[in-house]
Structure 1
């Protein structure tokens, strides 16, 4: 990532206050519910999608009790809300590109909230595909150096042998990139090898980054991102702002 550490961002997210953590756990719980319904049941051994969401939950320090409760609830509640995947694309200040992924049981509410977040930050929601071409969809696994004792070359060979596309070393972490379809297999092989992962998910990686220097632009993009993060329907926000 241009000029800053992925692991520092991950660490910052994990150190958020309890209210923010609760919101993250709620969002992951929603992902678990969708994974159980769409992936074919509550057994992670037979549901790779659920297995990946559980790995994401653990990387975000979600307690095992919460994870198990979410799985049981999704498996046993036939009347649970049917969440629909929705993606919005738009522009922030100075043409920054923003992609918003949501899981919602009310598309009108979510669309209104997302539009409001863009508008309050002096941006606007665009048409589908207007900015996604500026990103590459990749499986991304981040290994923190502070949690890892193996030699970097050993990790690289392990990742590439597992099917990863790319391996990069940063100051405080290692980044492993995969094709989205290969992500689940690569993550599982690394997990079986005992590799501790600070983050593991399929994400959208910007091809280039936009640097903002104007004070108003900085306030506006932060306002948009904060509003989106506070929205329970919003699962992920990707952008090409070089923080």
Structure 2
């Protein structure tokens, strides 16, 4: 499991987003808007929208907010016109970083990102500078207490999964993007609870960080994730588990 994936799991477990619920609802709403805009307002036929709605419900986003976000995406309600933009950059120690944004003002977004990167030992890169160091995957995370490993492995592979990994707490099922919906549905049909299920970017190589560079990287990641325009951040760092745990108090 990459350092960023471990970082994400720690933040979920400790509820780091709860203190920023307004910020979180903004990000969830924008994902729903863009999903509805690109694939239509029916979650039965729009997998991305269905996942966005499920994530919003998991975080107790009001149903009315969800409904209005869908209608804004389909054009039934007026609102800001968001577009998806991905920025690439470097963190401390040469870590590769992808930042996926949903914005209604590119100039504001890139100015904010440049400031965040520069204040925390990083810099914005050119388009294509680091994207080749990641690959798109489907990722499903399941607690180890929820199911026996052999049963889950057989179910996932039969449904089309590429691989299954384990750590002390969770199983991680990896799929090709086109197989994700089918594998997720098979796990759901089997009644196995999932901590998260999402399309994501997996690093193809890792950069080990420690000491000052590790702390700088974690602060940079936090600041990027706090920006309203930022939807997802992917980075190929590898930082010791005890450092990740300590960073969240």
Give the TM bin, normalised by the shorter chain: 0.7 to 0.9
1:134 to 1:156, Cα distance in 2 relative to 1, 3 A: same
Within the candidate set 167, 178, 181, 2:178 is matched to 181
- Is 1:210 the counterpart of 2:207? The answer is yes
- Deviation at 1:74? 2.8
After superposition, residues 7-156 of structure 1 pair within 5 angstroms as: 9-14=8-13, 15-16=15-16, 18-41=18-41, 43-58=42-57, 61-63=58-60, 66-67=62-63, 69-75=65-71, 77-146=76-145, 148=146, 150-156=147-153
Number of aligned residue pairs: 235
- Deviation at 1:23? 1.8
* 1:167–1:174 CA contact under 8 A, matched in 2: yes
The CA RMSD over aligned residues, in Å, is 2.1
Which deviates more, 16-25 or 113-122? 16-25
* 2:97–2:236 CA contact under 8 A, matched in 1: yes
- Is 1:230 the counterpart of 2:226? The answer is yes
Q: Residues of 2 paired with 1:180 and 1:26: CA distance?
A: 26
Runs of 4+ in 1 over 4 A off after TM superposition: 4-8
Q: Residues of 2 paired with 1:236 and 1:222: CA distance?
A: 15
1:55 to 1:233, Cα distance in 2 relative to 1, 3 A: same
Q: Give unpaired runs (5+ residues) of structure 2.
A: 240-249
| Aligned-partner SS, 1:122 | coil
Q: Give unpaired runs (5+ residues) of structure 1.
A: none
The Cα offsets for residues 77-111 of structure 1, whole Å up to 9 and x where unpaired, read as 43121110000111111111111000001111001
* 1:7–1:198 CA contact under 8 A, matched in 2: no
* 2:159–2:183 CA contact under 8 A, matched in 1: yes
Q: Residues of 1 paired with 2:83 and 2:226: CA distance?
A: 19
* 2:101–2:230 CA contact under 8 A, matched in 1: yes
Q: How does the TM-score come out when normalised to structure 2? A: 0.86
| Aligned-partner SS, 1:176 | strand
* 2:135–2:204 CA contact under 8 A, matched in 1: yes
* 2:4–2:237 CA contact under 8 A, matched in 1: no
| Aligned-partner SS, 1:78 | coil
1:158 to 1:17, Cα distance in 2 relative to 1, 3 A: closer
- Deviation at 1:7? 6.3
- Deviation at 1:232? 0.4
| Aligned-partner SS, 2:100 | strand
